[in-house]
Amino acid sequence: GAVVSQHPSWVICKSGTSVKIECRSLDFQATTMFWYRQFPKQSLMLMATSNEGSKATYEQGVEKDKFLINHASLTLSTLTVTSAHPEDSSFYICSARVGQLNTEAFFGQGTRLTVV
Protein backbone atom coordinates (compact mmCIF):
# COMPACT_ATOMS: atom_id res chain seq x y z
CA GLY A 1 0.00 0.00 0.00
CA ALA A 2 0.88 3.67 -0.16
CA VAL A 3 3.29 4.98 2.45
CA VAL A 4 2.85 8.05 4.59
CA SER A 5 5.80 9.07 6.72
CA GLN A 6 5.83 11.42 9.68
CA HIS A 7 8.80 13.13 11.21
CA PRO A 8 9.77 13.21 13.98
CA SER A 9 8.36 10.10 15.65
CA TRP A 10 8.63 11.78 19.01
CA VAL A 11 9.65 15.17 20.29
CA ILE A 12 10.04 16.83 23.65
CA CYS A 13 9.93 20.59 23.82
CA LYS A 14 9.81 23.29 26.42
CA SER A 15 6.63 25.16 27.17
CA GLY A 16 6.29 28.25 25.00
CA THR A 17 8.30 26.95 22.07
CA SER A 18 7.01 25.85 18.68
CA VAL A 19 7.26 22.43 17.14
CA LYS A 20 6.90 21.43 13.49
CA ILE A 21 5.73 17.99 12.42
CA GLU A 22 6.13 16.85 8.84
CA CYS A 23 3.88 14.47 6.94
CA ARG A 24 5.06 13.10 3.62
CA SER A 25 3.41 10.86 1.08
CA LEU A 26 6.36 8.83 -0.19
CA ASP A 27 5.04 7.12 -3.27
CA PHE A 28 1.96 9.03 -4.29
CA GLN A 29 0.65 12.54 -4.60
CA ALA A 30 -1.82 13.63 -1.98
CA THR A 31 -3.92 16.66 -2.75
CA THR A 32 -5.59 16.25 0.63
CA MET A 33 -4.07 15.33 3.94
CA PHE A 34 -5.70 15.14 7.35
CA TRP A 35 -4.30 15.89 10.79
CA TYR A 36 -5.50 14.11 13.93
CA ARG A 37 -4.77 14.31 17.62
CA GLN A 38 -5.13 11.39 19.98
CA PHE A 39 -4.99 11.57 23.76
CA PRO A 40 -4.20 8.43 25.78
CA LYS A 41 -6.89 5.77 25.61
CA GLN A 42 -9.05 7.95 23.41
CA SER A 43 -10.01 7.88 19.77
CA LEU A 44 -8.47 9.98 17.04
CA MET A 45 -9.88 13.47 16.77
CA LEU A 46 -9.81 15.15 13.40
CA MET A 47 -8.15 18.55 13.71
CA ALA A 48 -7.99 19.84 10.18
CA THR A 49 -7.99 19.01 6.52
CA SER A 50 -4.97 20.17 4.59
CA ASN A 51 -5.33 20.99 0.92
CA GLU A 52 -2.37 21.53 -1.35
CA GLY A 53 -2.01 25.14 -2.34
CA SER A 54 -4.84 26.49 -0.21
CA LYS A 55 -5.70 27.22 3.38
CA ALA A 56 -6.46 24.34 5.68
CA THR A 57 -9.97 23.71 6.94
CA TYR A 58 -10.11 23.39 10.71
CA GLU A 59 -12.63 21.43 12.72
CA GLN A 60 -14.74 23.24 15.25
CA GLY A 61 -12.85 24.01 18.43
CA VAL A 62 -9.38 23.74 16.89
CA GLU A 63 -7.41 26.98 17.04
CA LYS A 64 -6.01 27.71 13.60
CA ASP A 65 -3.52 30.23 14.95
CA LYS A 66 -2.11 27.69 17.33
CA PHE A 67 -1.98 24.75 14.96
CA LEU A 68 -0.52 26.11 11.75
CA ILE A 69 -0.88 23.84 8.75
CA ASN A 70 1.00 24.25 5.51
CA HIS A 71 0.53 22.01 2.49
CA ALA A 72 3.03 23.47 0.07
CA SER A 73 3.43 20.50 -2.22
CA LEU A 74 1.58 17.36 -3.27
CA THR A 75 3.77 15.24 -1.03
CA LEU A 76 4.29 17.34 2.07
CA SER A 77 2.09 18.84 4.75
CA THR A 78 3.37 20.32 7.98
CA LEU A 79 1.71 20.97 11.32
CA THR A 80 3.31 23.54 13.59
CA VAL A 81 2.22 23.67 17.19
CA THR A 82 2.95 27.24 18.23
CA SER A 83 3.64 28.33 21.79
CA ALA A 84 3.18 24.79 22.99
CA HIS A 85 1.88 24.09 26.47
CA PRO A 86 1.74 20.86 28.47
CA GLU A 87 -1.92 20.36 27.53
CA ASP A 88 -0.81 20.14 23.89
CA SER A 89 1.07 16.97 24.71
CA SER A 90 -0.53 14.30 22.58
CA PHE A 91 -0.10 11.86 19.73
CA TYR A 92 -0.43 13.62 16.39
CA ILE A 93 -1.22 11.59 13.29
CA CYS A 94 -1.55 12.56 9.67
CA SER A 95 -3.22 10.71 6.83
CA ALA A 96 -3.53 11.06 3.11
CA ARG A 97 -5.81 9.62 0.54
CA VAL A 98 -5.04 8.19 -2.83
CA GLY A 99 -7.64 9.48 -5.20
CA GLN A 100 -10.85 11.11 -4.12
CA LEU A 101 -13.92 8.99 -3.76
CA ASN A 102 -14.32 6.47 -0.98
CA THR A 103 -10.84 5.10 -1.09
CA GLU A 104 -8.80 4.04 1.88
CA ALA A 105 -6.76 6.56 3.79
CA PHE A 106 -3.14 5.84 4.66
CA PHE A 107 -1.83 6.97 7.98
CA GLY A 108 1.56 8.03 9.18
CA GLN A 109 3.14 6.36 12.17
CA GLY A 110 2.29 9.30 14.40
CA THR A 111 4.32 11.82 16.38
CA ARG A 112 4.41 11.79 20.16
CA LEU A 113 4.68 15.35 21.42
CA THR A 114 5.58 15.99 25.03
CA VAL A 115 5.65 19.56 26.27
CA VAL A 116 7.52 20.09 29.52
Partner 1 sequence: LAKTTQPISMDSYEGQEVNITCSHNNIATNDYITWYQQFPSQGPRFIIQGYKTKVTNEVASLFIPADRKSSTLSLPRVSLSDTAVYYCLVGRDSGGYQKVTFGTGTKLQVIP
- 67 or 106: whose CB is closer to partner 1? 106
DSSP state of 66: T
Smallest gap, in angstroms, from Cβ of residue 46 to partner 1? 5
Q: Residue 8, Cβ neighbours under 10 Å: how many?
A: 13
Interface residues for partner 1 in 54-93 (CB under 8 A)?
91, 93
- 74 or 105: whose CB is closer to partner 1? 105
* 8 A C-beta contact, residue 95 and residue 24: no
Interface residues for partner 1 in 37-56 (CB under 8 A)?
43-46, 49
4 forms beta bridges with 25
102: Cβ contacts below 8 Å, ≥ 6 apart: none
* Measured distance CA(108)–CA(116) in Å, rounded: 24
Q: What are phi and psi of 88, to 5 degrees?
A: -85, -10
Smallest gap, in angstroms, from Cβ of residue 100 to partner 1? 5
Among 25, 88, 108, 115, binds partner 1 (CB under 8 A): 108
Binding site for partner 1 (CB under 8 A): 1, 4, 6, 31-32, 34, 36, 43-46, 49, 91, 93, 95, 97, 100-110, 112
